[in-house]
Amino acid sequence: MNILKTLRSWVRQTHEGARAVSFGVAVGLVTVATLINLLAWPRGSDQDGHYFALVTAVLVSTLYGGFGPGLVATALAALSSSYFALSPQFSLRVVAPGATERLVVFVIEAVLLNLVAHVIRKHHKSTPPSVGWQRYLAIPFAVSAATVPKLVFPDLARELPFAFDYAAVCACAWVGGLVPGVAAIGLLAGITKYLFLEPAYSLSVANQAETIRVGLFVAEGLVLAVLGASHASLKHFAATVSARARIYVAATLHKEVNNAALRAISRDTVWEWELDTGEITRTPSWQDRISIALPSRETYSSWVERIHPDDRDATVTRMQRAIEQGREEFQYTYRVLAPSGTFLSVWDHAFIVRGADWKALRVIGRSSELPSRIGEPLV
């Protein structure tokens, strides 16, 4: 019964447990992103480079757990940026010029990315995107939506040149698949470099720092494209695995209930007698007075002492004769002493297990309580 209660309780708590795991994943991903940033910028960074890992943590948190865990990851990522990266380091106070504005833009972009990822997660599409030219229609719309705000607000482009590009890549990958996602990465990287990075209106790279920024965007964009493109199939796979797990749990519960019912209505006690050691082990029934009269484990001599004196010699003789005569099956009845001091009438049906040389190895049987004494033992 304890096993049944535990399994039922586990089934009831599965949803709550999965929800808690989703928030735990969000906390863990932001923690990993923070450690990566500390390794890359041990003294902090007022530039936008440290936002790359945090953006990925937010996206994966939403894809895995939903909008709630994604918002938690966004809040934790903002705190991580303020405390561990922006000047002064290890303080929530931000004093670097433009750093507060970049942090606000990051939060806005993270929330936007949350919305995109939430739509992807909730969409029940299980088939791959079409292979025609329609799959590329999202690219001009998404790229324009990410670029126009930075053209309208030059300060935004100067502080965060890759703002909104992540959401655009994710949207293109979700609508059209991996190839449109990669195409959006290349197009956005080229536009951002040409319009918003020094030297302006040029595809050449001014310094190593700018090269790293573009390289980080391309690398992270590929991660977002893969996640956005494969989430439908991954979601379908996860749903299949989850359904199989639920079926397995239900079957296990059904089997346990059936076994419990069989044990409850059965009045048989199954036992095994090892001839080499003389030890007898029993698997009792739930509603069986024999299970109370006889322990789950005892020696053969101890069991013989419990047999009624008038039945003892005949019972032992019949068992020994069946073993010596090479028989495989035999039955007998006897009376056994119960803890109450009264004798119970018992019917045993036994099977002898023999080796390759036909030597008896052990005896396996079942004991049933008889409502009244049967005259002669069965042979």
Q: Which of 226, 243, 265 is the last residue of a domain?
A: 265
pLDDT given for residue 132 in this prediction: 63
Number of other residues whose CB lies within 10 A of the CB of residue 260: 14
Helix, strand counts (H, E) of the chain: 12, 6
The boundaries of the domain holding residue 58 are 16-122
Q: Look at residue 253 and tell me whether its pLDDT is greater than 60.
A: no
The tens digit of pLDDT for each residue in 257-286 reads 555 555 554 567 888 999 989 999 887 665
pLDDT given for residue 314 in this prediction: 93
Amino acid, res. 359: K
Q: Look at residue 169 and tell me whether its pLDDT is greater than 70.
A: yes
Q: Look at residue 355 and tell me whether its pLDDT is greater than 80.
A: yes
pLDDT given for residue 372 in this prediction: 54
Query: Is 328 a domain residue?
Result: yes
Query: Is 6 a domain residue?
Result: no
82/152 same-domain check:
no
Distance set, CA 12 to CA 38, 154, 325 (Å): 41, 53, 57
pLDDT given for residue 60 in this prediction: 83
Query: Is 11 a domain residue?
Result: no
The pTM assigned to this predicted structure is 0.45
152/217 same-domain check:
yes
Task: Give the CA angle between residues 149, 155, 157 to the nearest 5°.
Answer: 55
pLDDT given for residue 304 in this prediction: 92
Counting residues of the chain whose pLDDT is more than 90, the rounded percentage is: 16
Distance separating alpha carbons of residues 278 and 319, to the nearest angstrom: 14
Query: Is 331 a domain residue?
Result: yes
42/140 same-domain check:
no
Query: Is 9 a domain residue?
Result: no
221/277 same-domain check:
no
Q: Look at residue 377 and tell me whether its pLDDT is greater than 50.
A: no
pLDDT given for residue 176 in this prediction: 78
pLDDT band at 287 (very low <50, low <70, confident <90, very high): low
Mean of per-residue pLDDT scores for the chain: 77
8 Å CB contact between 363 and 352: yes
More confident residue, 333 or 372: 333
The tens digit of pLDDT for each residue in 120-148 reads 666 644 444 455 677 788 888 888 988 88
Q: Do you find a cis peptide bond into 199, omega within 30 degrees of 0?
A: yes
- Quote the DSSP letter at residue 275: T
More confident residue, 75 or 16: 75
Query: Is 114 a domain residue?
Result: yes
19 phi-psi bin (left φ>0, alpha ψ -120 to 50, beta other)? alpha
